[in-house]
Structure 1
Amino acid sequence: MGFIASLRREWRLLRARPFDLAMLTWVPWLAMALLCWIFAAGQPYRLPIAVWDEDHSALSRQLVRMLGAAPGLQVQQSLLNRAQAQDALERMAVYGVVHIPAGMARALKRGGAADVTLLHNAQLATASSLLQRDLRQVVGTLSAGARMQALAKRGTPGQALRTRIEPVKTQLVSLFNVSTNYEQFLAAALVPALVHILAMTAGAWGVGRELRDRTLGDWLGARACGPQVFAALVGKLALPACTLWLGAVAAQLYLAQLRGWAVAGSMAWVALALAALVLVSLAAGAALAGITLSLRMALSGAGLLSAPAFAFSGVAYPLLAMDSSARGWALAMPYTHYARLQLQQWQMGAPAAQTLPVVAGLLLATLALLGLASAGLARGLRRPERWGAR
């Protein structure tokens, strides 16, 4: 069966099976829209915290007011003892508890020091890091103000106060994602990761379904040779490739145009790389089905390979911090290379020539995987006893 005949046959099958058609059209599109909506806020704001104030001084009350004024924090509770603090954290009623020790104001008036403690659940890594950042800023501002006031009372000239407080300053220069916005880098990276999972599953399902339903011979023809199998396979995968790619590009354009996250490099190059990712994912799923001649094994392999791809990509956890075995696994995954290309094009504005090897590598991997899938299916044609296996 040729490319056109296989394409038409797949379209008739999808029209007759609404569930299969939904998994290639509106279900993935809805999932991508949900991802974009989840990260629409950009940054978490007004994270609930509690205050355990044992000082009960004007300075501690000022600190509580400053905590409530910080955009990332919201003081929801005032606690009386350690038991209440532990209970609030264990119930997850708050993300953190700020402990103000007794005698803080008195110690500062005498020229001493005091420690303000943040009790937080480090399991919630994102919330914990944001709480620590905002608390450092608030306490640092309060501490600097108290120190400047004490120095002023001792007769230190106003022009020398800032130098005395902070003689050495740290200057941090953010080059990309200056606002540290989760929508800009996380939503844009998760959409292709989701498409990678869906495409690999679609490739495994589309080919494995023919084996399960004992229709492999009807699809390919009893005497199909290698080139004919290859053409029929490409025709079968053409429809899911188009629907998944169009949905992913629409989501990326939404982030780039409607949400204002302008692409520093070339959006066309990102779309081309995304097409290569969809193709290699479909080919990988089809190869699993062709090699194993089992729908169940193909779907299991697709989940095993695609589901952890984002975790190994270097977006969430630094790739260079992984050990050699984990890094080798990450570099074997196509999504890792696509994610790097997208970051280079979207945020860094890298020249297209720098990312050309990634696109070329993904396309070569697609051809190799399609060849493996075709060889496996040609072998499966000669083994009808394997048809019908789950």
Structure 2
Amino acid sequence: MVFWVPALAVLLMCWIFAAGLPQRLPVAVWDEDHTSLSRELTRMLDAAPGLSVAQPVLNGAEAQWALQSMAVYGVVHIPHSTTRDVKQGKAGQVTLLHNAQLATHSSLIQRDVRQVVATLSAGIEMRARARRGDPQQVLQVRMEPIKTNLIALFNISTNYEQFLAAALVPAILHILAMTAGAWSVGRELRDRSLGAWLRGGDWSQTLAALAGKLALPWLSMSAIGLAALLFLTLARGWHVAGSLAWVGVALAALVAVSLAAGALLAAATLSLRTALSGAGLLSAPAFAFSGVGFPLLAMSDSARGWAVSMPYTHYARLQIEQLQAGAPIAQSLPVVAGMTLATLILLALAAWGLRRALARPDKWGGR
């Protein structure tokens, strides 16, 4: 649980997002127009890098079945009157039926379909105006009198490996580290070996024994996290805008505070089962509340309060600041300092809980 399982989980996460950019998402075309215009639109859809026209559908029932069976993620419907409306100067209507429950698939398909239809529509209008004698330069201005200039500052290619894999790897280690902290201390209680482990001693000796017990999982998981971090950046050819070394320090601090929190849960509850349940309750939703997937500022006040109380939220912000935004280290310094201070406080409280548990041998042996 502290060696090959974390390594395998991290490797699996890197493998899942190795493609980086989702491409060739399957869609179906429901063409009721059957004209050169509808065939041109179908060819343009299939030529878009993010789309692949997987199959045609002949009616609404087939379109519904294709979506419900997830053979395709969207159906583009071209009504029978599309070409006629365009020739009469009316607005043709092309409908995209998509499964919005699959948010990532849906947003990518919507983007590409809009772009293809807009390109085809602009081409039709420009050809019509050109036949009427409008100059090419005037056509371009009339077609788009106001332009939007979109400048992506970070993750320009919208690479999901940079966006998700780099964020999910430390999230997995956060869960496993908190579980390892709870297990390391909780099993001493379960096996009635707490007294033999601590051998009496004072508070400082208890603290030293606890730190020694957590040192091995901290070294193991920190090394795995750092190896994954190096692979996802240097080995994959990313440009690191900030300090990669500082991200490594923060990752080690995240693992440390996670282990200390798990140990405190076991020392406070005197129950391995309760400590493991608490570790899962606190660490498993950490990624969802971090602001990486759902915007932090869009959460309710209570959800945002829960999010900022979790160490992973602050680590995720630091990682984005350093790997992509190139923020100065001084901006991220409070995060590392805060996690280090939290680790020391949690270890001290866990040591106090263990001292209390030594006087309660009747609580040993529980699950």
Indicate whether the TM-score tops 0.5.
Answer: yes
User: Is the CA contact (8 Å cut-off) linking 1:96 and 1:118 kept in structure 2?
Assistant: yes
Partner in structure 2 of residue 17 of structure 1: none
Partner in structure 1 of residue 341 of structure 2: 364
Superposition deviation, residue 107 in structure 1? 1.1
1:113 paired residue among 87, 91, 95: 91
Moved over 6 A (4+): none
* 3-state secondary structure, aligned to 1:178: coil
Partner in structure 2 of residue 29 of structure 1: 7
1:101 counterpart = 2:62 = no
Q: Which runs of 5+ in 1 are unaligned?
A: 1-22
User: Is the CA contact (8 Å cut-off) linking 1:269 and 1:352 kept in structure 2?
Assistant: yes
Partner in structure 2 of residue 198 of structure 1: 176
Superposition deviation, residue 372 in structure 1? 1.1
Partner in structure 2 of residue 343 of structure 1: 320
Partner in structure 2 of residue 387 of structure 1: 364
Superposition deviation, residue 164 in structure 1? 1.3
Question: What is the count of residue pairs matched by the alignment?
Answer: 367
Cα distance in 2 for residues equivalent to 1:106 and 1:165: 22
Cα distance in 2 for residues equivalent to 1:112 and 1:369: 69
1:282 paired residue among 259, 263, 266: 259
After superposition, the C-alpha distances for 1:223-257 in whole angstroms (9 at most, x for unaligned) are 22211110000000000000000000000000111
Q: Which runs of 5+ in 2 are unaligned?
A: none
Cα distance in 2 for residues equivalent to 1:262 and 1:217: 52
Cα distance in 1 for residues equivalent to 2:265 and 2:104: 36
Instruction: Map residues 1-390 of structure 1 onto 2, 5 A cutoff.
Output: 23-221=1-199, 223-390=200-367
Q: Using the TM superposition, name which of 298-307 and 74-83 deviates more.
A: 74-83
Cα distance in 1 for residues equivalent to 2:290 and 2:197: 37
Superposition deviation, residue 158 in structure 1? 1.8
Cα distance in 2 for residues equivalent to 1:207 and 1:50: 55
Identity level (%):
69
Superposition deviation, residue 156 in structure 1? 1.3
* 3-state secondary structure, aligned to 1:99: strand
After superposition, the C-alpha distances for 1:33-70 in whole angstroms (9 at most, x for unaligned) are 11011000001111111000011110000000001111
* 3-state secondary structure, aligned to 2:101: coil
Cα distance in 1 for residues equivalent to 2:141 and 2:231: 47
Partner in structure 2 of residue 8 of structure 1: none
Cα distance in 2 for residues equivalent to 1:262 and 1:376: 45
After superposition, the C-alpha distances for 1:127-165 in whole angstroms (9 at most, x for unaligned) are 000000100110010000000011111221222111111
* 3-state secondary structure, aligned to 1:297: helix
Q: Which amino acid aligns with 1:255?
A: L
Superposition deviation, residue 307 in structure 1? 0.2
User: Is the CA contact (8 Å cut-off) linking 1:109 and 1:150 kept in structure 2?
Assistant: no
User: Is the CA contact (8 Å cut-off) linking 1:214 and 1:388 kept in structure 2?
Assistant: yes
Cα distance in 2 for residues equivalent to 1:102 and 1:276: 62
Q: Using the TM superposition, name which of 143-152 and 100-109 deviates more.
A: 100-109
TM-score scaled to structure 2, two decimals? Answer: 0.99
Q: Which amino acid aligns with 2:40?
A: Q
Superposition deviation, residue 262 in structure 1? 2.4
User: Is the CA contact (8 Å cut-off) linking 1:176 and 1:348 kept in structure 2?
Assistant: yes
Cα distance in 1 for residues equivalent to 2:40 and 2:346: 64
User: Is the CA contact (8 Å cut-off) linking 1:208 and 1:298 kept in structure 2?
Assistant: yes
Partner in structure 2 of residue 7 of structure 1: none
After superposition, the C-alpha distances for 1:10-50 in whole angstroms (9 at most, x for unaligned) are xxxxxxxxxxxxx1111111110110110000011111110
User: Is the CA contact (8 Å cut-off) linking 1:313 and 1:335 kept in structure 2?
Assistant: yes
Q: What do you get for the CA RMSD once the two structures are aligned?
A: 0.7
Cα distance in 1 for residues equivalent to 2:24 and 2:89: 33
Cα distance in 2 for residues equivalent to 1:201 and 1:250: 21
Q: Which amino acid aligns with 2:212?
A: G
